[in-house]
Structure 1
Amino acid sequence: MKKALISTQLKTKLLVILIISILLASALELYTFGIPSDFFGRWLNSFFVIFFLTTVTVLAIVPAINYTVNKAAGK
């Protein structure tokens, strides 16, 4: 049996981050610019930026800092 490339826990985290990013991007674009003719393009750009920054923070930076602090504390 093949091992899954992405675990169920990681899929769940990515889904939650995706939903939060969609909501934040929508709120930001609607509050700032309303619905102009180029809404979809701006929304897509802000979605990808928010999604990328949140994903890198949650899945890479926070665990790396946690690991470093635990190693330095001798745990």
Structure 2
Amino acid sequence: MAKSKKPVGKRPTTRKPAKKSFDRRGLLRQLLIIFLLSFFISTALIIYLFGMTDNFFSRLFWCILVIFLFIAIMVLGIIPVINYFGNKWLK
């Protein structure tokens, strides 16, 4: 009597998927977009509020810096963290 062999099939893999590599180009593109957005908002705000005064460029620099930091921290930091914990909690 011949023994019947079980069909050889694919075994389920127990490997974890590879981690995504850090996307430097995407981050630089996002930072550039955030900078341009903050530059145009700051310029419009400073010209509307104060006009072209003697200390226009120093006010513009600090306004760009503050708006850039607010937007960058929110878009690149707070929102992904909330999204991550929300996905973890819903699983």
Question: TM-score normalised to the size of structure 1?
Answer: 0.89
How far is the alpha carbon of 1:6 from its aligned partner?
A: 6.5
- Of Structure 1 and Structure 2, the greater helix share is in 1
Distance 1:44-1:65 versus aligned 2 partners, 3 A rule: same
Q: Is 1:67 the equivalent of 2:87?
A: no
**Structure 1 SS opposite 2:45:** helix
Q: CA RMSD in A?
A: 1.3
**Displaced runs of 4 or more, over 3 A:** none
Aligned residues: 70
Q: 1:21 aligns with which of 38, 41, 46?
A: 38
Q: Take 1:41 and 1:9, find their aligned partners in 2: how far apart are those partners? A: 30
Q: Take 1:62 and 1:11, find their aligned partners in 2: how far apart are those partners? A: 18
* Greater relative CO, 1 or 2 (CA 8 Å, sep 6+): 1
Q: 1:33 aligns with which of 50, 56, 68?
A: 50
Q: Take 1:55 and 1:30, find their aligned partners in 2: how far apart are those partners? A: 23
Q: 1:49 aligns with which of 66, 74, 87?
A: 66
Question: TM-score normalised to the size of structure 2?
Answer: 0.74
Gaps of 5+ in 1: none
Which structure is larger by alpha-carbon Rg, 1 or 2? Answer: 2
Which stretch shifts more, 6-15 or 48-57? 6-15
